[in-house]
Structure 1
Amino acid sequence: MKTVFIALMALCPAVAAVTLDQFVSVSIDSDSLGFSQGRRQLLWSGRIGGDSWSIRAVDRYLDADSGGLVPRRFLGRNDLLLNGDAEFGVLTVSPGFRWNAASGDGLDFVLPGQEGTVLDRAYLRPELGISVTLPYGFRAMAGGSLVERTLEYHDGSSLGWSGKGAEGGLEWNGPGRLWAVAGGAFRSHSASDIDFETDWSRIGAAVGIRTVTLPARVQIEGRAEYGHLSGEDYLGGELGDRLGFRIRAVRSFRPGLALNVTGYSSLDRKDGEWSRAVSAGAARVVLTRGRPGEIPHQFVLGGQFTSSSFSTARFEASARIHLIDGLSSLLSTVLREGPTTIAGAGGSRERVTLGAGLEYRFRDLALVWVKILEERTELSTIENWTRLEAGLRFWPHPIAF
């Protein structure tokens, strides 16, 4: 992370006013009441910029064990994102860079065509985007990216894998809250060692309305989108067209009490026929109470569901109760149901998780918390797990140069 900070400073042009904003987070998610056998994550983000330019960086290091009954998605990786913007009149240039590397052997990468598995060591993705502001609320955008994966067979030999992509579009900010965008994208991947090559493209458009305030303290926004996809999916089938709708509404009943509702639905068109693809919905009620200048109490009640080729459901109830000074108590209940790939667990998994803990806020500078979770989950048998979560979030004061 020190190297990233030095790189940020080296890329800064000589301007009069430059500000550096940072955020640091350390978190532990353990399978027991100890600090081992779990996930440990360190995250740093920073932004440095002036009036017409900015550079942003996010570096996330994740360390985890194999996980026992529940496999980890990541065993140990470092993920670095670096991007920026520079304005030259109506032209904006946006370079970017991503580097993701395994700290150990890496996860298994499943090759297409039943070619087996290799170790996913790292991948590198540089990208560049440009946009031009046009009259009458229009903006034209174009960009491209390259991908280079470092894959390795278990005997130590390497497998070459590369990819490239491009996208472009036209955006319109209309009168009032109306907006529209149209464009296309292209992606291709190839691995010459296994004679593999695939590509797909998408052309689509979307229209929407930004947040509109209605009577009875209701705010609403929505969008509709349509895309035509060409290429093949992972099973070798042809990609089709997709039509999607999304809407979000917020109702404020009184100060400190609000209801947030979101819905999404999409249809796919394949072989000349339309069918339901994905439906999802979520609702959340948030109640915030407290006196000015004090940390408020907060109570959250919510749920969500998704339905596609499989279904998921989640219900949560949580509370943060201010005790004294910066100290608050944390309480939570989460019920989840969804598919699982764990051997012997069946096609669906149900979980109930109860949590209790404490957090302490050092004004607007830092937050530290610890929480004990008790989970009852249905695998091949009923399992009861006690876990520990703890973490620190730190917001250093902005630095002006």
Structure 2
Amino acid sequence: MSLVVMKFGGTSVGTIERIKNVAKRVAKKKDEGHDVIVTVSAMAGETDRLINLIKEIDPKYDPREYDMVVSTGEQVSIGLLAQALKSMGYDAVSLTGPQIGMITDGAHSKARIVEITGERLRKELKEGKICVVAGFQGIYPKTGDITTLGRGGSDTTAVAIAAAMKANVCEIYTDVDGVYTADPRIVKKAKKLDKISYEEMLELASLGAKVLQSRSVEFGMKYNVDILVLSSLEEKPGTLVTKEDKDMEKVIVSGVTSDKNQAKITITEVPDRPGIAAEIFEELAKQNINVDMIVQNVSTEGKTDISFTVAQTDILRAYDACKEIAKNIGASNVLSDENIAKVSIVGVGMKSHAGVAAAMFKTLAENNINIQMISTSEIKVSCVIDEKFSELAVRVLHERFVEEGDHVS
């Protein structure tokens, strides 16, 4: 008997009617003879509602209390789905992250999974039950506190469970029917991909594609878990996220993304001496602030400006931290800009094709889109631009690299 892990996002369980429909999909999988573990997110809009509540109390909330509040959203979903399955005559049990042994580190609001003991899951599956597990949450054993994995953490929960329980496949059900070359709401000619490599999906997820959370893809790649992205609203073929093969290398660009959840900080007139960058970013790391793109200007009269990007959710903490850092190192000022976006092109085919970055820069220039920062890897090129141009940038880059075919020049 095979084990299938199924994950349903917030839109999929957004209403009682949709929860009943999810129950039917899960029941069908059980009827086909599979053992089934289901992971669900909070109902659509619920996490945002809970976040807004704690922000109303204090915009600089305690991350521990944040986790205590937002983790409740998933518990509502699992209880409702388990009850829906029971009402249909299926033996189901709802389980929280701590109950399945989802052990994490202590970084509240962005915890990382350390291990999944899975004892309770094995026991309930042996008894023939459908296990309905809360996504997004775990427990830090040193304190016994509830932790959350960050937005989109239910994807990570599902793939991690699939890896720990040696499931045959992890099926991620969303409000789209697969992975597209761009957001279909922005680009009408976006194409659905039959399959995509872990590496490409990891880049797309980390760069703003909202289909899968990047850490879930990391788990899939590390533990060789095939991830199938499917629609929760209709039965259609989806997109398989799997190991890279030769066919994937023939396509230069597999996807174009934009991420508006970005903010830029600039520390001006930083003393240009060895170790200064380490001093700045070590302090930010101590406060669990993840930094993305970094640019250091050419030194003038022993001073330089250092700019970097962070998630918008971290901007207040990062700004306050940088003000303190600037004072300690003798820098002049700290500036912040939340009106930016990061636009990116991704494809394993870039490894064997020259001139891709130049073609991207030329396309943006032809559309009067100024580039503020640039970051590259073997299979991606990212540019920070003014937020108001983000959708235009995605459309023109998609037209250039996906719709016009494989040539670069």
Structure with more helix by fraction: 2
TM-score category by the smaller chain?
under 0.3
Structure with more strand by fraction: 1
TM-score, length-scaled by structure 2 = 0.22
TM-score, length-scaled by structure 1 = 0.22
Rg: which structure is higher?
1
Tell me which of the two structures has the higher relative contact order, counting C-alpha pairs closer than 8 angstroms and 6 or more residues apart: 2
